[in-house]
Amino acid sequence: MADPNSINYISFDKEENTATVFGVLSVSLPGRFELMDSEKAKQKYPSDFRPPVLLTEINGTTDIGFHYLKEDALSNDKVEDVTESLRSIIKRMYPTNKFYAQDVIESQNTKVGYFEYTNPSNNLFYSTFITPIDEKTLIGSLNCPAKAKLQWKDKALEMLKSFMDETLIEQIEEVYR
């Protein structure tokens, strides 16, 4: 297994249009994305709390960020509660945000909680997600200009449905060795 402690660990399969993030999450990308270089990431996301893995679409207007919180445990049965808590925090911090869908879905082999909103201060649409990977928390977001919301909303959901916890695959393979 790849080292999930490697901060910017990501590998791409351009032929399949997939990526493996932190060596533990396999995901089908919703377009042509590439790793955002560190200088651009610092400019676009000046906070020190920017996602350690940032992907950007070729045209640079749509981004996907991933955080792998190895210290924070998360199981499938807690995804709904944690999703609601995260949404509530964002709603309290940014009361002018307009919220849309919220749900917990089954991906390839794990649950994914998500919620969608637009932020009028930066005019962006967000699809924020959370999922347990190896019983730890993976959180992230796809963001795009609010005017492109309809173009990206369904693509974001398809991406979430493609999530696969690679550590579960390895555990199954280990049993059969």
From the CB of residue 119, how many other CB atoms can be counted at a distance below 10 Å? Answer: 16
Instruction: Work out the angle at residue 101's Cα, subtended by the Cα atoms of residues 140 and 103, and round it to the nearest 5 degrees.
Output: 70
Number of structural domains, the chain?
1
**Residue 108: inside a domain:** yes
28-70, pLDDT tens digit by residue? 999 999 999 989 999 999 888 899 999 999 988 999 999 999 9
HEC profile of 129-166:
EEEEECCEEEEEEEEEEHHHHHHHHHHHHHHHHCCEEH
Residue 171 forms part of a structural domain: yes
Q: Could you list the residue range(s) of the whole structural domain that residue 142 is in?
A: 10-175
Residue 50 lies in a domain: yes
Residue 3 lies in a domain: no
Q: How many whole angstroms separate alpha carbon 55 and alpha carbon 19?
A: 10
What is the CATH number for 139? 3.40.1000.10
- 36 assigned to some structural domain: yes
What tokens does 8 get?
A: 């910017």
Is 4 part of a structural domain of the chain? no
The answer as to whether 2 is a domain residue is no
Task: Specify the pLDDT at position 69.
Answer: 94
